[in-house]
Amino acid sequence: MKNTFGNHISVTLFGESHGPAIGVVLDGLAPGIAVNEEIIKEFLAKRRPSSDLDTARVEKDPFQIVSGVFQGKTCGTPLTILIPNEDTRSKDYTYGEARPSHADYAAHKKYHGHEDYRGGGHFSGRLTAAIVAAGGILIPALEAKGIHIGTHIYSCAQIPDRTFDEILRDGLSQSELADILLLLREKTFPVLNEDAGEKMKEKIREASQQNDSVGGITETMITGLPAGVGEPWFDSVESELSHILFSIGGVKGVEFGGGFALADMTGSSGNDALRYKEDGTVYTESNHNGGINGGITNGMPVLFRCAFKPTASIAKEQKSIDFLKKENINYKGKGRHDPAIVRRACPVIDCVAAIAVADLLTGRYGTDYLA
């Protein structure tokens, strides 16, 4: 509902880019989950601009947990994380000048001129810091239950990375997969193939030098989910995940397993053959369904990709409007921005996936599941 997501574990997001603070309320958490502020800091650091590849806006993200934690653990009541805003340069923004492909004009029509337009206000990617902080609690809790989540840059500026599909064909054990995912989460520029990563960075730098930006695609794997989670129809795992994935600014496409490429296949080539392993566990030979059948997990890794449009903010002059003066203008961005959002998006995707997964598991197994 609006700024609240989740039926069993819920997250409420608040704040504007240039207001006093942003933050998040996590409700429905089991009591007794360990809360490690150092891990939250690490998560925030991964999302932060960290090099010439990112915006020059420096965000230190000092945060404060103002409720829901007692003696280092969740106490079962709403956990609120507050992140004060600093280093804001509101003068970079002029009300009325709509930044192309941003929400400015749409927000103006929705809020009738009352919106906080500075830095995108509530629409700012800045709010994903609060989501990542929440993930810093949920992801370790999921890992303690054997559930791992990891995201890499599947492609950026048309440079492809190695894919999870290739890795799955190697027949790795679940713990080997988990290791790959943990490794990804530690990387500043999370790719499976470092050479591809270097080429991507080069392209990002090129775009930056040309006052332009590039888009990209992320790929996420979730391992360790038990079979039988999710609901047919409106609470399908795909529905829940896509709902929160499309909440993230810049996401314009989401696909599971084979996704759009699967639409080009035939039943005989696209179906996933089911098999028993010798130890009695069930697996599928391929994973075109991304670990989900009929909206419900089948025990295979859950796989999905998100298409991120190129960063809308560029320093090039563009055609736009001034909706206050009601006239066409040439707009040239002044703010500090990322030439590619896809690197910083990876931890955000991990964290929103964690929210959806924790919600589904808590609904199925009860409020104490993550304790």
Three-class secondary structure assignment of 52-78: CCCCCCCCCCCCEEEECEECCEECCCC
Nearer to a second copy, 60 or 109 (CB): 109
Nearer to a second copy, 7 or 175 (CB): 7
Q: Say if residues 356 and 256 touch (Cβ distance below 8 Å).
A: no
Q: List all residues 6 or more positions away from 114 whose beta carbon is below 8 Å from its beta carbon.
A: none
Among 54, 76, 225, 357, binds a second copy (CB under 8 A): 76
- The number of angstroms, rounded, from the C-alpha of 246 to the middle of its chain's C-alpha atoms is 9
Neighbours of 250 (CB within 10 A): 19
Nearer to a second copy, 101 or 193 (CB): 101
Considering only the stretches 51-59, 112-120, 135-143, 174-182, report the one whose residues sit in contact with a second copy under the rule CB under 8 A. Answer: 112-120
SS3 293: strand
Considering only the stretches 45-53, 62-70, 134-142, 177-185, report the one whose residues sit in contact with a second copy under the rule CB under 8 A. Answer: 62-70
- 10 Å CB burial of residue 154 (0-12, 13-18, 19+) is buried
Residues that bind a second copy (rule: CB under 8 A) add up to a total of: 158
For position 90 contacting a second copy by CB under 8 A, the verdict is no
Per-residue interface string for the shown chain with a second copy, residues 272-311, x marking contact by CB under 8 A: xxxxx---x-x-xx--xxx-xxxxxxxx-------xxxxx
* Rounded Cα gap, residues 57 and 28, in angstroms: 34
CB of 9 to a second copy, least distance (A): 10
For position 55 contacting a second copy by CB under 8 A, the verdict is no
Among 143, 205, 270, 336, binds a second copy (CB under 8 A): 270
Quote the tokens at residue 199.
Answer: 């080429």
Q: Say if residues 133 and 44 touch (Cβ distance below 8 Å).
A: yes
- Please list the residues that pair with 306 across neighbouring strands: 218, 254
Nearer to a second copy, 12 or 55 (CB): 12
Using CB under 8 A as the binding rule, the residues of this chain from 8 to 47 that contact a second copy are 8, 10, 12-16, 19-23, 25, 27-28, 31-32
Neighbours of 44 (CB within 10 A): 22
Continuous segment of H or E residues that includes residue 174: helix 174-186
38 secondary structure, DSSP code: H
Considering only the stretches 52-60, 116-124, 173-181, 182-190, report the one whose residues sit in contact with a second copy under the rule CB under 8 A. Answer: 116-124
Considering only the stretches 7-15, 136-144, 169-177, 186-194, report the one whose residues sit in contact with a second copy under the rule CB under 8 A. Answer: 7-15
For position 216 contacting a second copy by CB under 8 A, the verdict is yes
CB of 42 to a second copy, least distance (A): 22
Residue 268 to residues 84, 299, 304, 317, Cα–Cα distance (Å): 55, 22, 22, 50
For position 328 contacting a second copy by CB under 8 A, the verdict is yes
CB of 182 to a second copy, least distance (A): 26
Using CB under 8 A as the binding rule, the residues of this chain from 144 to 183 that contact a second copy are 155, 157-158
Among 35, 68, 138, 353, binds a second copy (CB under 8 A): 68
Among 41, 42, 78, 88, binds a second copy (CB under 8 A): 78
- Please list the residues that pair with 81 across neighbouring strands: 24, 65
* Rounded Cα gap, residues 118 and 176, in angstroms: 45
* Rounded Cα gap, residues 340 and 354, in angstroms: 23
Among 88, 145, 253, 334, binds a second copy (CB under 8 A): 253
CB of 26 to a second copy, least distance (A): 9
CB of 368 to a second copy, least distance (A): 8
